[in-house]
Amino acid sequence: MSRTLIVWAALAALVVALLLMPVFFTGYVVYIANVTLVYIVLALGLHILTGEAGQFALSHAASYGIGIYTAAIVNKSALGIFPLPILAGGLVAGALGLFVGLVALRMRDIYLALATFAFGEAMQWVFLDWSSVTGGANGTQIAPTAIFRYQILNDKQAYPVVLALTAILIVATLALSRSRTGSALRAVRESEVAAMAVGVNVRRIKLTAFVLSGVYAGLAGGIFTLFSTYIGPESLGFQTTIFVLTMIVVGGLGSVLGAICGAVIMSLGSEMLRNALSYQEIIYGVLLMGFMMYASGGVIEPLRRVWRRTGETANV
């Protein structure tokens, strides 16, 4: 059996399993699946910025929160009809991503990390203190999203929509990675000087990475509002940014499949560690350092080796 056939068979089996999940599992399992899909979109956004473009930014959770609050506000208005709240979350987060990108254009490495960290902390202050909009420390209730006259009221009803939107964004990320823009992003990551020498507009590419990363995070926030009824600022802090960063490192930095695998692993791992909240940050930190020092290719690297060996065997 050829490798291509095996891949297509595996994808078909995965699609069938995902589609049938609400039939065979309880609402809680479906909720975890919804959260995992949101994390996949978040990880893809950070993958574009850090994995593809090589820009080390620490403001991803802020963009995610902006997407959630924007979608929640639109949901409560007359415009709260799918997909407008989700698109609004993506657009507002993308606009702020453009602002962060403009500020960060002349910064690199630790200075870029500090500048984006400051932006994330500033947005955390906004989430906590702009009580009339965000509800402050008490958080805010999220109204159900309507698809025409049909309201999404539980996790099982939201799941097909969340799954479809995540699949669309995965395909879009793969298309971006294989496009000329994706090649330009990777050229900037490897060497800005070399990228400029071959005609890449480094400024435009960096801004594109920041905007796309913000859009993905905002869309993830909007998708979150499809199945969640509450959001509080405590879940949008620096720990969430480190959590998403750990996803793309554990999965395999610079790989779309790695970002997806990392999101699934970390999401399920977080659920397993739900009763050990005080130790989660330590565990994430150890994982992040361990993979960066000893397994920079992430969990996807062994799969790549097996794939190459299979190809070599097939050619013999």
- Residue 189 is assigned to a structural domain of this protein: yes
Residue span of the structural domain in which 52 resides? 27-240
Identify the DSSP state of 53. Answer: T
Residue 102 lies in a domain: yes
Q: What are the φ and ψ backbone dihedral angles of 135, each rounded to 5 degrees?
A: 85, 0
Q: Is residue 295 part of a domain?
A: no
CA separation (Å) from 131 to 105, 136, 137, 209? 32, 4, 8, 31
> What is residue 247's predicted lDDT score, i.e. its pLDDT?
92
pLDDT along the chain (316 residues), means of 10: 69 83 86 95 95 90 94 85 93 94 81 87 90 87 85 90 95 94 93 89 93 96 93 86 90 91 90 74 80 79 71 43
Q: Does some domain include residue 12?
A: no
7: in domain: no
> What integer pLDDT is reported at residue 307 of this predicted model?
65
Res 1: pLDDT: 52
- What's the pLDDT tens digit per position in 218-236? 999 999 999 998 998 888 8
- The answer to whether residue 160 is domain-embedded is yes
How many Å apart are CA 52 and CA 33, to the nearest integer?
26
Structure confidence at residue 172 (pLDDT): 96
| Distance between CA atoms of residues 181 and 191, nearest Å | 15
- Residue-level pLDDT at 314: 41
Q: Has residue 296 been placed in a domain?
A: no
Q: Looking at residue 277, what is its pLDDT? A: 67
- CA–CA gap between residue 215 and residue 206 (Å, rounded): 14
C-alpha separations of 69 from 213, 223, 314 in Å: 17, 12, 52
Q: How many C-beta neighbours within 10 Å does residue 33 have? A: 21
Long-range contacts of 77-84 (CB under 8 A, 24+ apart): 80/143, 80/145, 80/146, 81/146, 81/147, 81/148, 82/145, 82/146, 82/147, 82/152, 82/161
Q: For the chain, what is the total number of helices (H) and then of strands (E)?
A: 14, 4
Number of domains in the chain: 1
> How high is the pLDDT of residue 4?
67
251 located within any domain? no
